[in-house]
């Protein structure tokens, strides 16, 4: 047994007494011999993200009395420490426009009688807890009420956001004196408080941009056309970057070591903005507008941008401000352990009661999750995901995933492949396969990029319109080996898998639920699946039975074709999978990938509901296995309530050489393993929610 015991390790992380007597969360039994492996401690470095953060909302109406009257700094930090929290975002100014400290710039909450922000920071620092501060930019009700000319205006001349008879936020434009106002507030906080970082919220316009007088005049001076959506987008980006640049300059002048994060900016393609960030945080509350797919897509993108990142869920049942609710323990575990499995750190959103006392029952739940996170940190600190497939996103943004992104992410995860979300500036050479799903037409630069990737031994999987030129007239890559004939005439088409692509598929003709592309094979291209046409498309003039018309006869048109290292599928299979989840579509893709990647990084005899990822530290690879079944119990929320154990899970990791040892973490329980044909193979006795399987040496 390593001299750093479980109890002393937990104490070294500042988790508090009593943990050793608690049952492990999301882990198998700790029975068995511990491997002879040093247990590294997680150092707390100035400016570095910690693994266990709380984002403590405090949007408090000026109509509410007694604000902060029950705040007790000793009780506050005691509850946080018992819950293993080691970083917490606290509020300097909220969406109501109220400050929680004596301010000379913006109004202090009228019913707050002391410096709440200062008392919080002082107590947190004494307890060794990191204390970044929160402020807001484009939602501020006080400013909206007193400066109507600062509001974002839509193309009908109406203010953006809540109307006169609606409860909610009104959006303000940082191309107005609002920018000076917010910057003065940030400078005031930076000068007067020992803050560890700045969490700056609401820095994004609605899709239409802004038609306020300030924006209209500036676009005219810049030669931009306010009638053109692309010009308004360009201008909005310019305004936001100008604001971020100013905030960063102000912060750096007073707090050069502070972390800086601007919320609402993360989307595929925002690389030019990274200079305004010290790290990234993925606000992604599954019960709210995000859903579980959001984090699954965006985490696989941001983890490769060169900055530390953390995910953020919430303690609420649904979303922000859902008072009187708490997230199911299994859901909170699943969401935080998923952050670890994707190479990130953890943040849980809460909201402080107006009287200033946090809810102990909520933090008992948070603590159960975070004590388990603390035990797992040594195998997660500095860990990088190991992947071999990348798919090019068609436009993930801060809140909404496209159907194609959702479909391919679900499909690849269910097949237990290791993959990333890419943009066109990603390094394709890192991946054995690059997937262009459904919609990616190519300009000359993109086509040359892909040709260079193929020339270097890379492999491509494309579907539907991907690979076409910008006009959609022909394929931009000769390497695809197909002629494009336009969209298929019939909306209702079928496919039949031919020899070499039909493994695991029922030997029948299968339906495509959407219109696809019509292509013809060039000599030397192998047709792996062919199109079957129906008798006729279903419409009001001619239909048969309840749904699509049955198939009539086979055609010579390919539905799946391969030429060298390129495989093409004629229909938008990933969007279709998001909408219909038809298992043969997934199996068809699995068979295509197997032709390009016969020896995947992970092989597992596990259900599709098991999520498996691989991370790497020096001399160590860790396989994360998560199994939490989400069930749609309401019209709009997937509920995770129960943990369904997996037993005797067979798992194999491809590795260049025989590992020195394999064991379970954090239990440090040795596993027997076999090494054959380049794979280290183990049997995991039980996965109860989340289990880490470690291969070393």
Q: Can you give the pLDDT at residue 47?
A: 56
Q: Can you give the pLDDT at residue 395?
A: 79
pLDDT mean across residues, the chain: 92
Name the pairing type of β-strands 309-314 and 280-283.
Answer: parallel
Q: Can you give the pLDDT at residue 37?
A: 52
Name the pairing type of β-strands 631-632 and 669-671.
Answer: unpaired
User: If you average pLDDT over residues 158-173, what whole number do you get?
Assistant: 96
State pLDDT tens for residues 305-330.
Answer: 999 999 999 999 999 999 999 999 99
Enumerate residues 6+ apart whose C-beta is below 8 A from 551.
494, 509, 532, 533, 534
User: If you average pLDDT over residues 160-181, what whole number do you get?
Assistant: 97
**Distance, CA of 688 to CA of 671 (rounded, Å):** 17
User: If you average pLDDT over residues 123-139, what whole number do you get?
Assistant: 98
Asked whether 130 and 191 are in contact (CB, 8 A), the reply is no
Asked whether 150 and 176 are in contact (CB, 8 A), the reply is yes
Closest CA to 441 of 418, 417, 470, 419: 470
**In which band, very low, low, confident or very high, does the pLDDT at 23 lie, cut at 50, 70 and 90?**
very low
User: If you average pLDDT over residues 430-459, what whole number do you get?
Assistant: 97
Tell me the three-class secondary structure of 605-619, residue by residue: ECCCCCEEEEEEECC
**Distance, CA of 91 to CA of 350 (rounded, Å):** 12
Q: Can you give the pLDDT at residue 46?
A: 54
Q: Can you give the pLDDT at residue 29?
A: 36
**Distance, CA of 72 to CA of 358 (rounded, Å):** 10
Q: Can you give the pLDDT at residue 14?
A: 37
Measured between alpha carbons, how far is residue 9 from residues 20, 23, 108, 374, 556 in Å? 10, 16, 43, 9, 66
Burial class (CB in 10 A: 0-12, 13-18, 19+), 76: buried
Q: Can you give the pLDDT at residue 544?
A: 81
Identify the weakest region by mean pLDDT among 25-34, 199-208, 653-662: 25-34
pLDDT at 441 over 90: yes
Based on its alpha-carbon atoms, the radius of gyration of the chain, rounded to whole angstroms, reads 27
pLDDT at 21 over 80: no
Q: Can you give the pLDDT at residue 36?
A: 57
**Distance, CA of 210 to CA of 151 (rounded, Å):** 9
User: If you average pLDDT over residues 668-688, what whole number do you get?
Assistant: 97
Measured between alpha carbons, how far is residue 558 from residues 512, 530, 583 in Å? 13, 4, 21
Asked whether 391 and 434 are in contact (CB, 8 A), the reply is yes
**In which band, very low, low, confident or very high, does the pLDDT at 35 lie, cut at 50, 70 and 90?**
low
Q: Can you give the pLDDT at residue 238?
A: 98
State pLDDT tens for residues 538-582.
Answer: 888 888 888 887 777 899 999 999 999 999 999 999 999 999 999
Q: Can you give the pLDDT at residue 203?
A: 96
C-alpha of 389 from chain center: 17
Q: Can you give the pLDDT at residue 45?
A: 52
Q: Can you give the pLDDT at residue 26?
A: 40
State pLDDT tens for residues 642-675.
Answer: 999 999 999 999 999 999 999 999 999 999 999 9
State pLDDT tens for residues 573-592.
Answer: 999 999 999 999 999 999 99
Asked whether 449 and 424 are in contact (CB, 8 A), the reply is yes
Enumerate residues 6+ apart whose C-beta is below 8 A from 326.
315, 316, 317, 361, 362, 365
Q: Considering Cα of 245, then 251, then 256, then 257, what sign does the dihedral take?
A: negative
State pLDDT tens for residues 507-532.
Answer: 999 999 999 999 999 999 999 999 99
State pLDDT tens for residues 324-348.
Answer: 999 999 999 999 999 999 999 999 9
pLDDT at 399 over 80: no
Q: How many residues does the chain have?
A: 697
User: If you average pLDDT over residues 149-172, what whole number do you get?
Assistant: 96
CATH number of 52-384: 3.20.20.80
HSE value, Cβ hemisphere, 13 Å, CA-based, for 633:
9
**In which band, very low, low, confident or very high, does the pLDDT at 536 lie, cut at 50, 70 and 90?**
confident
Which tokens belong to 356? 């200033």
Are the folds of 52-384 and 390-596 the same? no
Asked whether 295 and 286 are in contact (CB, 8 A), the reply is yes
**Distance, CA of 542 to CA of 142 (rounded, Å):** 61
User: If you average pLDDT over residues 294-307, what whole number do you get?
Assistant: 96
Domain ranges of the chain: 52-384, 390-596
User: If you average pLDDT over residues 276-295, what whole number do you get?
Assistant: 93
DSSP-assigned letter for residue 44: -
Measured between alpha carbons, how far is residue 190 from residues 105, 183, 360 in Å? 13, 10, 31
Quick check: helix, strand or coil at residue 629?
coil
Q: Can you give the pLDDT at residue 10?
A: 34
Quick check: helix, strand or coil at residue 422?
strand
Asked whether 401 and 437 are in contact (CB, 8 A), the reply is no
Strands (E) in 152-234, as ranges, are 197-201
Q: Can you give the pLDDT at residue 321?
A: 94
φ/ψ bin of 66: left (φ > 0), alpha (ψ from -120 to 50), beta (otherwise): left
**In which band, very low, low, confident or very high, does the pLDDT at 364 lie, cut at 50, 70 and 90?**
very high
Q: Considering Cα of 279, then 335, then 270, then 409, what sign does the dihedral take?
A: positive
CATH of 390-596, one of 3.40.640.10, 3.40.605.10, 3.40.720.10, 3.40.50.880: 3.40.50.880
CA angle (26 as vertex; 653, 290 as ends), nearest 5: 90
Closest CA to 233 of 208, 204, 200: 208
Percent of the chain residues topping a pLDDT of 70: 93
More confident residue, 118 or 46: 118
Closest CA to 124 of 83, 199, 74, 197: 74
Q: Can you give the pLDDT at residue 112?
A: 98
Burial class (CB in 10 A: 0-12, 13-18, 19+), 255: buried
Tell me the three-class secondary structure of 246-289, residue by residue: HHHHHHHHHCCCCEEEECCCCCCCCHHHHHHCCCEEEECCCCCC
pLDDT at 682 over 80: yes
Asked whether 429 and 453 are in contact (CB, 8 A), the reply is yes
Asked whether 567 and 479 are in contact (CB, 8 A), the reply is no
**Distance, CA of 77 to CA of 95 (rounded, Å):** 25
**In which band, very low, low, confident or very high, does the pLDDT at 24 lie, cut at 50, 70 and 90?**
very low
φ/ψ bin of 476: left (φ > 0), alpha (ψ from -120 to 50), beta (otherwise): alpha
**Distance, CA of 9 to CA of 40 (rounded, Å):** 9
Q: Can you give the pLDDT at residue 34?
A: 52
């Amino acid at each position: 047994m390593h001299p750093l015991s479980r109890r002393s390790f937990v104490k070294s992380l500042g988790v508090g007494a009593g943990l050793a007597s608690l049952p492990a969360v999301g882990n198998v039994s700790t029975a068995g011999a511990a491997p002879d492996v040093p247990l590294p401690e997680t150092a707390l470095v100035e400016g570095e993200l910690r693994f266990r953060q709380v984002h403590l909302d405090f949007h408090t109406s000026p109509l509410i009395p007694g604000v902060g009257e029950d705040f007790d700094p000793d009780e506050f930090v005691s509850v946080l420490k018992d819950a293993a929290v080691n970083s917490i975002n606290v509020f300097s100014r909220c969406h109501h426009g109220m400050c929680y400290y004596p301010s000379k710039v913006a109004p202090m909450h009228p019913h707050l009688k002391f410096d709440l922000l200062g008392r919080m920071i002082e107590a947190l620092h004494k307890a060794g807890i990191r204390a970044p501060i929160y402020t807001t930019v484009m939602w501020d009700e006080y400013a909206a009420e007193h400066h109507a000319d600062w509001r974002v205006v839509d193309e009908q001349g109406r203010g953006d956001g809540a109307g006169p008879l609606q409860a909610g936020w009104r959006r303000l434009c940082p191309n107005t004196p609002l920018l000076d106002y917010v910057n003065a507030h940030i400078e005031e906080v930076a000068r007067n408080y020992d803050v560890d970082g700045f969490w700056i919220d609401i820095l994004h316009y609605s899709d239409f941009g802004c038609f306020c007088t300030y924006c209209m005049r500036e676009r005219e001076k810049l030669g931009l056309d306010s009638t053109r959506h692309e010009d308004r987008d360009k201008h909005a980006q310019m305004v936001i970057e100008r604001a971020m640049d100013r905030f960063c300059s102000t912060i750096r002048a007073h707090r050069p070591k502070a972390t800086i994060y601007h919320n609402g900016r993360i989307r595929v393609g925002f690389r030019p903005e990274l200079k305004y960030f010290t790290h990234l945080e993925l606000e992604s509350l599954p019960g709210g507008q995000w859903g579980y797919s959001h984090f699954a897509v965006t985490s696989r993108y941001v983890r490769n941008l060169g900055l530390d990142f953390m995910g953020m869920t919430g303690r609420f049942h649904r979303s922000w401000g859902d008072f009187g609710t708490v997230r199911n323990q299994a859901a909170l575990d699943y969401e935080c352990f998923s952050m670890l499995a994707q190479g990130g750190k953890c943040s849980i959103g809460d909201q402080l009661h107006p009287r200033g006392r946090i809810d102990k029952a909520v933090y008992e739940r948070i603590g159960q999750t975070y004590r388990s996170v603390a035990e797992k940190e040594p195998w997660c600190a500095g860990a990088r995901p190991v992947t071999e497939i990348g798919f090019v996103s068609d436009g993930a943004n801060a809140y909404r995933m496209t159907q194609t992104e959702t479909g391919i992410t679900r499909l690849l995860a269910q097949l237990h492949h290791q993959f990333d979300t890419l943009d066109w500036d990603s390094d394709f050479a890192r991946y054995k396969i690059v997937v262009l799903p459904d919609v990616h037409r190519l300009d000359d630069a993109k086509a040359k990029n892909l040709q260079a990737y193929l020339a270097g031994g890379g492999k491509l999987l494309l579907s539907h319109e991907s690979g076409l030129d910008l006009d959609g007239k022909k394929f931009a890559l000769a390497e695809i080996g197909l002629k494009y004939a336009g969209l298929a005439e019939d909306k209702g088409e079928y496919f039949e898998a031919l020899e070499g692509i039909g493994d695991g598929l029922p030997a029948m003709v299968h339906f495509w639920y959407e219109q696809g592309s019509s292509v013809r094979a060039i000599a030397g291209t192998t047709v792996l699946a062919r199109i079957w046409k129906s008798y006729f498309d279903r419409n009001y003039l001619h239909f048969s039975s309840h749904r699509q018309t049955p198939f009539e006869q086979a055609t010579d048109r390919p539905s799946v074709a391969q030429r060298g290292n390129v495989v093409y599928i004629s229909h938008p299979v990933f969007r279709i999978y998001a909408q219909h989840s038809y298992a043969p579509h997934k199996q068809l893709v699995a068979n295509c990938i197997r032709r390009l990647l016969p020896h995947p990084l992970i092989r597992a005899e596990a259900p599709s509901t098991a999520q498996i990822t691989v991370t790497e530290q020096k001399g160590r690879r860790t396989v994360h296995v998560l199994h939490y079944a989400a069930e749609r119990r309401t019209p709009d929320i997937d509920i995770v309530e129960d943990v369904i154990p997996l037993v005797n899970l067979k798992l194999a990791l491809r590795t260049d050489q025989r590992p020195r040892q394999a064991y379970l973490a954090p239990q440090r329980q040795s596993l027997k393993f076999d090494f054959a044909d380049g794979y280290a193979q183990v049997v995991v006795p039980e996965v109860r929610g989340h289990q880490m399987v470690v291969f070393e040496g």
